[in-house]
Structure 1
Amino acid sequence: MSIKMSDVAKLANVAPATVSRVLSQPHLVSKDTQEKVLKAIKELNYQPHMIARQFRKKETKTILVVVPDITRPFFSEVLKGIQHKAVENGYRVILGDAENDIQREGEYVDLLFQKQADGMILLTARMDKNRIEEISKQFPLVLACEYIDGLDISTVSIDNVSSARKITEHLIRLGHSKIAHITGPMNVILSRDRLKGFQQAMNSHSLPVEPTYIQEGDFSLESGYHQMIKLLSLENPPTSVFVFNDEMALGSIKAVKDSGMKVPDDIAVVGFDNLNMSSIIEPNITTIDQPKYEIGNKAMELLLQLINGKEIKKKKIVLKDEILIRESCGSPASKRSITPFPASTK
Structure 2
Amino acid sequence: MSTIKDVAARAGVSFTTVSHVLNGTRRVSDAARARVEQAVAEMGYAPSAVARALKTSETFVFGVLVPNITNPFFAELTRGIEERCRQTDYSVFLCNTDDESELQTHYLQTLLERRVDGLLLAAAAGEPEPLVRRLGFARVPTVVVERRIPGLEADLVRVDHDAGARLAASHLAALGHRRIACLSGPSRFLVSRERTAGWVAGLQEAGIEIRADWMLEGDFSAAAGHALAHELLRQREVTAILAGNDMMAIGVLRAAAELGVSVPGELSVIGFDGIDMGSYMFPALTSVGHPIRELGEMAASVLLERLGKRVLPVREVVMAPHLIERASTGPAPKG
Question: Taking structure 2 as the reference length, what is the TM-score of the superposition?
Answer: 0.85
Note closer, same or farther for the CA distance 1:308–1:40 as it changes in structure 2 (3 Å cut): farther
Q: Supply the distance in 2 between the matched residues of 1:61 and 1:245 (Cα, whole angstroms).
A: 33
The 5 Å alignment of 1:287-326 reads: 287-313=287-313, 315-326=315-326
Q: Which runs of 5+ in 1 are unaligned?
A: 332-346
Note closer, same or farther for the CA distance 1:89–1:34 as it changes in structure 2 (3 Å cut): farther
Match of 1:114 in 2: 113
Residues 151-194 of structure 1, C-alpha deviation per residue, up to 9 Å, x if partnerless?
43111111011111111111111111111001112222211111
The 5 Å alignment of 1:145-294 reads: 145-148=146-149, 151-234=152-235, 237-294=237-294
The answer to whether the 8 Å contact 1:125/1:147 transfers is no
1:231 CA displacement: 0.9
1:311 CA displacement: 3.6
Q: Does 1:101 align with 2:93?
A: no
Q: Supply the distance in 1 between the matched residues of 2:29 and 2:202 (Cα, whole angstroms).
A: 60
Specify the code of the residue in structure 2 equivalent to 1:223: A
Q: Supply the distance in 2 between the matched residues of 1:186 and 1:36 (Cα, whole angstroms).
A: 67
Q: Which runs of 5+ in 2 are unaligned?
A: none
SS at 2:328's partner residue?
helix
1:211 CA displacement: 0.9
Q: Supply the distance in 1 between the matched residues of 2:61 and 2:87 (Cα, whole angstroms).
A: 13
Residues 91-125 of structure 1, C-alpha deviation per residue, up to 9 Å, x if partnerless?
32222111111121111221244244232111225
1:22 CA displacement: 7.5
Match of 2:47 in 1: 48
Residues 271-320 of structure 1, C-alpha deviation per residue, up to 9 Å, x if partnerless?
11222221122211111132211121222222233344534456111223
Specify the code of the residue in structure 2 equivalent to 1:277: M
The answer to whether the 8 Å contact 1:111/1:117 transfers is no
Note closer, same or farther for the CA distance 1:133–1:35 as it changes in structure 2 (3 Å cut): farther
Counting matched residue pairs gives: 325
Match of 1:74 in 2: 73
The answer to whether the 8 Å contact 1:136/1:153 transfers is no
1:130 CA displacement: 4.2
Specify the code of the residue in structure 2 equivalent to 1:210: R
Q: Supply the distance in 1 between the matched residues of 2:20 and 2:315 (Cα, whole angstroms).
A: 34
1:127 CA displacement: 5.1
Deviates more, 1:301-310 or 1:260-269: 301-310
Q: Supply the distance in 2 between the matched residues of 1:34 and 1:140 (Cα, whole angstroms).
A: 41
SS at 1:193's partner residue?
helix
Indicate the percent of aligned positions where both proteins have the same amino acid.
28
SS at 1:247's partner residue?
helix
Match of 1:339 in 2: none
The 5 Å alignment of 1:74-93 reads: 74-93=73-92
Q: Supply the distance in 2 between the matched residues of 1:6 and 1:191 (Cα, whole angstroms).
A: 58
1:67 CA displacement: 1.0
1:132 CA displacement: 4.2
Q: Supply the distance in 2 between the matched residues of 1:142 and 1:119 (Cα, whole angstroms).
A: 8
Note closer, same or farther for the CA distance 1:240–1:86 as it changes in structure 2 (3 Å cut): same
Note closer, same or farther for the CA distance 1:186–1:12 as it changes in structure 2 (3 Å cut): farther
Note closer, same or farther for the CA distance 1:167–1:103 as it changes in structure 2 (3 Å cut): same
Specify the code of the residue in structure 2 equivalent to 1:70: I
Match of 1:343 in 2: none
1:84 CA displacement: 2.1
SS at 2:277's partner residue?
helix
The answer to whether the 8 Å contact 1:269/1:328 transfers is yes
Q: Supply the distance in 1 between the matched residues of 2:30 and 2:120 (Cα, whole angstroms).
A: 34
1:216 CA displacement: 1.0
RMSD of aligned residue pairs (Cα, Å): 3.0
The answer to whether the 8 Å contact 1:73/1:275 transfers is yes
1:42 CA displacement: 5.0
